Chain A
Amino acid sequence: MASEDDNAESIAKGEAAGVQEHRSEDGRELSLTGNWTTRSIAAIDGWMRELASTAPERIVLDFASIANIDTAGAFVIRRTVEELRQAGKSVEFRNISHSEEVLLDAVADAASQSMPEKPSSGFGLLTPFAVIGRSVFAMAEQMKYAFGILGSAIAGSSGHGISLTAIVAQIHRIGVGAIPVVLLMNAIIGAIVAQQGAFQLRYFGAEIFVVDLVSVLVLRETGALITAIMIAGRSGSAITAEIGSMKMREEVDALKVIGLNPIGVLVFPRLVALMIALPLLTVAANAAGLAGAMVIANYYSDISYTAFITRMGGWIDVTTVFAGLVKTPFMALAIGVIASMEGMRVGGSAESLGARVTASVVKAIFVVIVLDGLFAIFFASIGF
């Protein structure tokens, strides 16, 4: 476009979308230049938006110098045209090719529609209370759901379809697979408790009492607790993820349609496996904890292994051992029910799977610790 006109003004140069403007008495002529494509349209978008308010009554758009155009460019042109026409101004196209015309028609509907309202989450004065109320009801709902799962796991297990193979396979995954890490963790905890105990008791010249301290602590509390927390993290997350992804891919629905109780089929074997595996793991954990303590007591306080065992044998009775072990099936049940419940609550998105697995582990660990505290109070009051 030769521009003899002194008012000729170039908005953008080079490859990007641009406009060359020529003013005359009867209106404005805009020559569109460059690439009107998704990639380069940003350069001209703001200018085109203002055009509707600044343009004179009559305007001519010249398409001759457009190098390339795609739907984004066509959309911006069409949107501007709609705005101009709504403002009561006349728009003319010049040198428009057939394919450009087709493109402009194709985007016409979209250009005249406005953005639909986003469904608002609505933040008002009452929102904080609504959030609290909702979470309280959700908590009650979850409690009910958890007991529902427990109930239907027991009900669904009766009669046909208890698969011993499934239970054994789960015991292998939950129990046997966890042995190394559980042993290691408990040995370290036992060793730490022994070391700290030995240092404190040294002031009183009563280092031998470290045996009493460690054996009671490991057998009554840490053995069961550390193992349960480990299993909540290790197997609870796995159960939630397994059941959750089965839920996402409609496998749970498929079970229902075939006539199987998904909770009976999926949850029951895992619950049973957990309730068998966790006490057994705790026995091993207790041994590991005491072994760790023995090594440390020997190292720091010169308490020989024989002395340790003799002292422990005189102090510890079977009650202490059972005070630790009796808690574990209840903890296992809590872990299993929470993990299964969260698995069943997984929705359609990958995000919800992540959120449910996180919730499963956090809740399971929380409940395990609370249960441990309740048992401690209970045992104290009955003198166990």
Chain B
Amino acid sequence: MAMTETVDKTEWQVGDAEERRVILSAEDITVRFGTQTVLDGLDLDVYAGEVLGFIGPSGSGKSVLLRTVLGLNRKQGGTISLFGQNIEELDEDERTAIDMAMGVLFQHGALFSSLNVLENIQVPMREYLDLPKKLMNELAMLKIEMVGLPPEAAWKFPDELSGGMVKRAALARALSLDPAIVFLDEPTSGLDPIGAADFDELVRQLSDTLGLTVYMVTHDLDSLFSVCDRIAVLGDKKVRVAGTIEDMLVCEDPWVQSYFNGKRARQIKR
């Protein structure tokens, strides 16, 4: 596959439970800023078609890992493979193909403030594809509909949207090219519980219908319980435990214990 220019993303969209193919693998990742080591020998595998929830104490390096995977941070050691290819050994075309097969929802949306929602969603399409204008509008409207925004929102500018709408619009942009994997950085933070539950539902639905792999950094216990297939816990500069929610509940690790058996978690578990 490294020979072809395109990532056959549909191949990666159908999550086959038995096969459990690794879509993203991080091996022995080390990231240092100056003298401060943030990640030290971290290993993580994300399987195609799953929703992975990524948790950890504030300041433990969740965002750093996400940025490292996306290539926005330098790492001092280790390898990252996306779709079975080491991202450092790719030439520009192969790298572009990989970029096209992934979508990112930044924590604060990062919508382009001078473009309206429709144009924001069309940015990746314009950049990579040669689509007729009419079809591009239709596809952008499709994404708007899929993420649950009202059609009129298409003409609004980011500063005219509420917090929840910004997140939805940013998700629509992340889904613009029908990626095989999306990275969500705290997608439900700042949303009201109903909005957050809707968003969780949406992520689950997209994952089920599109076979989408979701890598979700979150602090939201509801999200972890309701949508995540698997949870990875970051601590001590590496992934401390990874497993299903049941694994978490019986885990011996003290931080995981207090996280999942704390007062707030107990109310959700009921």
- Report if A381 contacts B (CB, 8 A): no
- Report if A347 contacts B (CB, 8 A): yes
Complex contact A37–B178 (CB within 8 A): yes
Complex contact A351–B114 (CB within 8 A): yes
- Report if B6 contacts A (CB, 8 A): yes
Residues of A within 8 A of B158 (CB): 348-349
Other-chain residue from B14, B145, B155 in contact with A110 (beta carbon distance below 8 A): B145
- Report if B152 contacts A (CB, 8 A): yes
- Report if B106 contacts A (CB, 8 A): no
Please report the C-alpha to C-alpha distance between residue A45 and residue B129 in the assembled complex, in whole angstroms: 14
**Selected interface stretch from B58-66, B82-90, B133-141, B222-230:** B133-141
- Report if A42 contacts B (CB, 8 A): yes
Q: Mark A11-48, 1 if CB is under 8 A from B, else 0.
A: 00000000000000000000000010111011001100
Other-chain residue from A39, A45, A99, A113 in contact with B132 (beta carbon distance below 8 A): A45
Q: How distant is A184 from chain B, measured CB to nearest CB, in Å?
A: 37
Complex contact B13–A70 (CB within 8 A): yes
**Selected interface stretch from A83-91, A114-122, A301-309, A368-376:** A114-122
Complex contact B141–A115 (CB within 8 A): yes
Complex contact B8–A68 (CB within 8 A): yes
Complex contact B146–A37 (CB within 8 A): no
Complex contact B159–A348 (CB within 8 A): yes
Complex contact A349–B152 (CB within 8 A): no
Please report the C-alpha to C-alpha distance between residue A119 and residue B6 in the assembled complex, in whole angstroms: 39
Q: Mark B195-224, 1 if CB is under 8 A from A, else 0.
A: 000000000010011110000000000000
Q: How distant is B114 from chain A, measured CB to nearest CB, in Å?
A: 4
A340-364 residues at the B interface, CB under 8 angstroms: 347-351
Other-chain residue from A71, A79, A111 in contact with B210 (beta carbon distance below 8 A): A71
Other-chain residue from B8, B125, B160 in contact with A38 (beta carbon distance below 8 A): B125
Please report the C-alpha to C-alpha distance between residue A55 and residue B132 in the assembled complex, in whole angstroms: 23
Q: Mark B117-151, 1 if CB is under 8 A from A, else 0.
A: 00000000100111110010111011111100001
Residues of A within 8 A of B175 (CB): 71
- Report if B113 contacts A (CB, 8 A): yes
Q: Mark B142-178, 1 if CB is under 8 A from A, else 0.
A: 1111100001101101111000000000000001011
Residues of A within 8 A of B138 (CB): 75, 79, 110, 115
Complex contact A119–B155 (CB within 8 A): yes
Other-chain residue from B11, B113, B155, B211 in contact with A348 (beta carbon distance below 8 A): B113
**Contact A39/B129 with A72-B139, A110-B145 known, Cβ cut-off 8 Å:** yes
Complex contact A118–B155 (CB within 8 A): yes
Please report the C-alpha to C-alpha distance between residue A41 and residue B137 in the assembled complex, in whole angstroms: 14
B1-53 residues at the A interface, CB under 8 angstroms: 6, 8-11, 13-14
**Contact A109/B145 with A38-B139, A42-B132, A71-B210 known, Cβ cut-off 8 Å:** yes
**Contact A68/B145 with A37-B178, A116-B151 known, Cβ cut-off 8 Å:** no
Complex contact B157–A349 (CB within 8 A): yes
Other-chain residue from B100, B130, B141, B210 in contact with A113 (beta carbon distance below 8 A): B141
**Selected interface stretch from A100-108, A149-157, A159-167, A219-227:** A100-108
Identify the interface centre among A38, A107, A110: most chain B CB within 10 Å of its CB.
A38
Identify the interface centre among B9, B14, B113, B142: most chain A CB within 10 Å of its CB.
B142
How many A-B residue pairs have C-beta atoms within 8 angstroms? Tell me. Answer: 98
**Contact A106/B159 with A39-B6, A69-B10 known, Cβ cut-off 8 Å:** no
Q: How distant is B127 from chain A, measured CB to nearest CB, in Å?
A: 12
Residues of B within 8 A of A119 (CB): 155
Q: How distant is B43 from chain A, measured CB to nearest CB, in Å?
A: 31
A48-85 residues at the B interface, CB under 8 angstroms: 67-72, 75-76, 79
Residues of A within 8 A of B113 (CB): 348-351
Residues of B within 8 A of A351 (CB): 113-114
Other-chain residue from B146, B159, B205, B211 in contact with A347 (beta carbon distance below 8 A): B159
Please report the C-alpha to C-alpha distance between residue A113 and residue B131 in the assembled complex, in whole angstroms: 20
Residues of A within 8 A of B114 (CB): 349-351
Please report the C-alpha to C-alpha distance between residue A182 and residue B214 in the assembled complex, in whole angstroms: 57
Q: Which residue of A lies closest to B151 (CB)?
A: A116
Q: Which residue of B lies closest to A106 (CB)?
A: B209
Q: How distant is A167 from chain B, measured CB to nearest CB, in Å?
A: 33
**Contact A46/B10 with A110-B141, A349-B159, A351-B114 known, Cβ cut-off 8 Å:** no
Q: How distant is B9 from chain A, measured CB to nearest CB, in Å?
A: 7
Residues of A within 8 A of B154 (CB): 116
Identify the interface centre among B10, B11, B114: most chain A CB within 10 Å of its CB.
B10
Residues of B within 8 A of A72 (CB): 139, 142, 178
Q: How distant is A66 from chain B, measured CB to nearest CB, in Å?
A: 10
Complex contact B211–A99 (CB within 8 A): yes
Assuming A68-B8, A70-B13, A115-B151, what are 17 further A-B pairs, CB within 8 angstroms? A37-B9, A38-B177, A42-B129, A70-B9, A72-B178, A102-B209, A109-B145, A110-B138, A110-B142, A113-B141, A115-B137, A115-B138, A115-B141, A348-B113, A348-B159, A349-B114, A349-B159
| 9 A-B residue pairings within 8 Å (CB atoms) | A38-B129, A41-B135, A45-B132, A68-B9, A71-B178, A72-B139, A116-B151, A349-B114, A349-B157
**Considering the complex of A and B, which 8 residue pairs feature the smallest CB-CB distances, nearest first?**
A348-B159, A68-B10, A349-B113, A110-B145, A70-B178, A351-B114, A110-B142, A116-B151
